[in-house]
Amino acid sequence: MTEPLLKVRGLKIGATIYPQGERPREIEIVHGVDFDLAPGKVLGLIGESGAGKSTIGLASMAYGRGGVEITGGEVWVNGRDILKSGLKDVRSLRGAEVTYVSQSAAASFNPAKQIMEQVTEAAIFQGKFSRSKAEERAVALFRKLGLPDPENIGARYPHQVSGGQLQRCMTALALCPEPDLVVFDEPTTALDVTTQIDVLKAIKDAIKDTGVAALYITHDLAVVAQVSDHIMVLQQGATVEYGTTDQIINHPREPYTKALVSVRSIQHEEKQPTDTPILRVEGVTARYKGTSFDVLKDINVEMYAGQTLAVVGESGSGKSTLARVITGLLPPSAGKINFDGRTLTPDLATRPLNDLRELQMIYQMADTAMNPRQTVGTIIGRPLEFYFGLKGAEKQKRIQELLDEIELGKGFQDRYPAELSGGQKQRVCIARALAAKPKLIICDEVTSALDPLVADGILKLLLNLQKIEDVAYLFITHDLATVRAIADSIAVMYQGSVVRYGSKSKVLSPPFDDYTDLLLSSVPEMKLGWLEDVIANRKMASAGN
């Protein structure tokens, strides 16, 4: 076997934490990780947030981000241990032999400089190419990555290209100095599913054509299965399983890996429409104040008591705006909303308290949806007090009942949101919505900020609660796997209109319209070779290209 390009042995990474009122102390966040990467190969690092995958990725450039320190082990790049090298050697390595692609290209590009200048900067600085040579190479990379107008796109500023294009520019930036290794840190996580697939394909082809080795960091096993040769599964800073992509996906050995592979396996029997519609949206058109553009165009959907309507679409399709119209935050310019047999007033301020109570909302970011200065008891207790006038022991009892319902149990009432994990926070938000005894809960991307296993738990909980409380969900999401798991009927939104609407089985079975086909086919599947099949067979190119 040839000498590996990157050899990591016993890598230990520590950080200093500063607990309030205590002495700062050292904790270890990566506990001795080993792996090899041969030239031209791709290794996928996968794990939940906090697993240490980004930290390990950056350590292969001998870098520790904000307060993180590499405390032990060896990192060999091209035959030398870079942890023992001086700063000067490390500097000559970064941006020349090893480069980095970050998650949010929009936040990583300097908005005041043209793309070309930034793409070629490292190559010129490291003396790899002359300016004209580097620019020539950049244009070639732009072309290879499928960017439109490759000769001139470099003259644009970062805000003048779309998110998917910018992510590809960043890939060009990383490949420009002809590195031996590129670290991709969640390069497609911030993108829409239909954009992700093209960027993924571009990255994969670029890796293959340039023969560069790559570390591909992501939390999405289905994505990493498409690009990598080997996969390393991490949990809390330690290796769980390390093997070829085929072995990890098709024959996982460890229970944790099995759980990751079989995530979203919830089976949900579709319910038939009843004759009691809980919500009917009739011809709703809406625009934001001071604009002349309709964000929603003549929306007609209907949903039934105790059932789930999933509204699916990309960012910008108007699905969250629909929620704002229904809740009364944005009065529609035309059309009306019928709720439980009565017409809702368009503006929140004029709605009777009972309408407000029966229509609750759960947000995407549980962090910002709870007041950080209130305890869990206050957060859940307020609707009880506000709508039902519960006080004292009675209120306490009901709060505890709700906490039991969301499977949190005792000891949570006095905690502050900062003392909860991401999944627990979202559960508390669910309890707050349930406390009002609503008939309809609008769930706005409630699982998209969560790790897959945690999100799975939340979906199961929601389904369970639906059985107990007979509450209807209007479920807004961009994730079709979630839709399959919980919906009874589906509305597909595209550029402010509903392009497909009906029961789940009807919407998800052919013949498809072009957009639904694109959307459905873009959801990564945990199967080798899926990416190539999809690109070859689809009918419509995705937006953002």
Segments in 282-332 forming alpha helices (H)? 319-327
From the number of C-beta atoms within 10 Å of its C-beta (0-12, 13-18, 19+), residue 23 rates as exposed
From the number of C-beta atoms within 10 Å of its C-beta (0-12, 13-18, 19+), residue 259 rates as middle
533 part of the interface to another protein, by CB under 8 A:
no
Judged by CB under 8 A, the residue of 3, 89, 407, 419 near another protein is: 419
Residue 82 or 431: the one with the smaller Cβ distance to another protein is 431
At residue 211's C-alpha, the angle toward residues 95 and 526, to 5°, is 100
Alpha-carbon span 329 to 324, nearest angstrom: 5
Residue 19 or 86: the one with the smaller Cβ distance to another protein is 19
Q: What x-and-dash track marks residues 300-339 binding another protein by CB under 8 A?
A: ---------------------------xxx----------
Alpha-carbon span 400 to 96, nearest angstrom: 58
CB count, 10 Å around CB of 451? 20
Residues touching another protein, count (CB under 8 A): 33
Alpha-carbon span 181 to 176, nearest angstrom: 12
Residue 46 or 436: the one with the smaller Cβ distance to another protein is 436
Report, in Å, the least distance between residue 404 CB and another protein: 22
Residue 230 or 357: the one with the smaller Cβ distance to another protein is 357
CB count, 10 Å around CB of 162? 15
Report, in Å, the least distance between residue 475 CB and another protein: 17
Residue 155 or 418: the one with the smaller Cβ distance to another protein is 418
* Inter-residue contact 355 to 278 (CB < 8 Å): no
375 part of the interface to another protein, by CB under 8 A:
yes
SS3 state at 455 = helix
Alpha-carbon span 224 to 516, nearest angstrom: 24
Report, in Å, the least distance between residue 376 CB and another protein: 11
Contact stretch for another protein (CB under 8 A) within 31-39, 349-357, 467-475, 492-500: 349-357
At residue 489's C-alpha, the angle toward residues 306 and 404, to 5°, is 40
Alpha-carbon span 530 to 68, nearest angstrom: 37
416 part of the interface to another protein, by CB under 8 A:
yes
* Inter-residue contact 365 to 445 (CB < 8 Å): no
Judged by CB under 8 A, the residue of 63, 242, 386, 388 near another protein is: 386
Judged by CB under 8 A, the residue of 21, 66, 389, 510 near another protein is: 21
First to last CA, the chain: 41
372 part of the interface to another protein, by CB under 8 A:
yes
Contact stretch for another protein (CB under 8 A) within 68-76, 136-144, 417-425, 514-522: 417-425
Judged by CB under 8 A, the residue of 22, 151, 269, 275 near another protein is: 22
Contact stretch for another protein (CB under 8 A) within 87-95, 233-241, 348-356, 388-396: 348-356
Strand partners, 230: 43, 244
111 part of the interface to another protein, by CB under 8 A:
no
Classify residue 3 by its DSSP letter: P
Residue 433 or 523: the one with the smaller Cβ distance to another protein is 433
Report, in Å, the least distance between residue 450 CB and another protein: 16
Judged by CB under 8 A, the residue of 49, 152, 236, 371 near another protein is: 371
Alpha-carbon span 371 to 356, nearest angstrom: 20
Residue 174 or 323: the one with the smaller Cβ distance to another protein is 323
Judged by CB under 8 A, the residue of 361, 380, 523, 534 near another protein is: 361
Query: Is the backbone of residue 169 left (phi > 0), alpha (psi -120 to 50) or beta?
Result: alpha
- Where b means 16+ CB within 10 Å and e means fewer, 401-439 reads ebbebbebeeebbeeebeebebbbbbbbbbbbbbbbebb
Report, in Å, the least distance between residue 20 CB and another protein: 5
418 part of the interface to another protein, by CB under 8 A:
yes
17 part of the interface to another protein, by CB under 8 A:
no
CB count, 10 Å around CB of 139? 19
Judged by CB under 8 A, the residue of 38, 259, 266, 365 near another protein is: 365
Tokens of 223: 């994505």
Can you give the binding site for another protein, defined by CB under 8 A? 19-22, 327-329, 348, 351, 353, 356-357, 360-361, 363, 365, 368-375, 382-383, 386, 416-419, 432, 436
